[in-house]
Chain A
């Protein structure tokens, strides 16, 4: 069984479009995250979310918004896509008290043309 899954695995779209990436975890974790990994392989936190608190990296544009329908899902919605948004986006999850041990999804490679 896949612990953390993301869809789609690849996403190619044009500038200005709105898109969503879905993430689901079946580990029973209470905290989920979104990361962006750019072409230089730098992994940067975008959001951290549990049912009590959303922590946003202040450098993330407000075109990006996380949406959590329930504890097992944290989707990433992106408005007005830009060329610089092209990257691999990873979803991850952890127990709140073990935030260092995160389980990552397989990643979504987003290409904006």
Chain B
């Protein structure tokens, strides 16, 4: 089966850096993905890791360690508009994406 864990809520200050962790157990692995979902809106794709290491994309970076079943999403220079839920998702072999329950990030002034 699949299991994905991430913190339910986090709060961070505008301009700061925040790291959102995700651990997973899957039967087979085709990659780990992060999505952003603002309240009342649809999820949007942020990043994709299939190999170990850090993938950087502007203010957002995502890290993967397959041996540890661990990923994190790093958000730098936080802005108020970054307040959203961040969903960790994995792609087990032969099946569609499985999403975690999401981490609700609140950015405060």
Which chain A residues border B30 with CB–CB below 8 Å?
Answer: 100
Chain B residue nearest in CB terms to A48: B96
Q: Does A101 contact B (CB under 8 A)?
A: yes
The reply to whether A105 and B33 contact each other, CB–CB distance below 8 Å, is: no
Q: Does B83 contact A (CB under 8 A)?
A: no
Which chain A residues border B7 with CB–CB below 8 Å?
Answer: none
Q: Known interface pairs A48-B96, A55-B95, A100-B48. Does A90 touch B102 (Cβ–Cβ under 8 Å)? A: no
**Which size class do A's interface residues fall under?**
10 to 19
Contact partner of B102 (CB less than 8 A), chosen from A41, A55, A104, is A41
B20 to chain A, nearest CB (A): 15
Contact partner of A106 (CB less than 8 A), chosen from B41, B87, B95, B104, is B41
User: How many pairs of A and B residues are in contact by the CB < 8 Å rule?
Assistant: 52
The reply to whether A33 and B85 contact each other, CB–CB distance below 8 Å, is: no
The reply to whether A33 and B96 contact each other, CB–CB distance below 8 Å, is: yes
Which chain A residues border B87 with CB–CB below 8 Å?
Answer: 43
Q: Mark B64-85, 1 if CB is under 8 A from A, else 0.
A: 0000000000000000000001
Which chain A residues border B48 with CB–CB below 8 Å?
Answer: 100-101
Q: Does B97 contact A (CB under 8 A)?
A: yes
Contact partner of A107 (CB less than 8 A), chosen from B42, B95, B104, is B42
Q: Apart from A99-B97, A104-B44, list 8 A-B contacts with CB within 8 A.
A: A41-B37, A41-B102, A44-B99, A48-B96, A99-B96, A100-B30, A100-B91, A106-B41
Residues of A whose CB lies within 8 Å of any CB of B are 33, 40-45, 48, 55, 90, 99-107
Would you mind naming 12 contact pairs between A and B with Cβ atoms under 8 Å apart? Answer: A33-B96, A41-B101, A42-B99, A43-B99, A48-B96, A100-B30, A100-B31, A100-B48, A101-B48, A102-B97, A104-B42, A104-B43
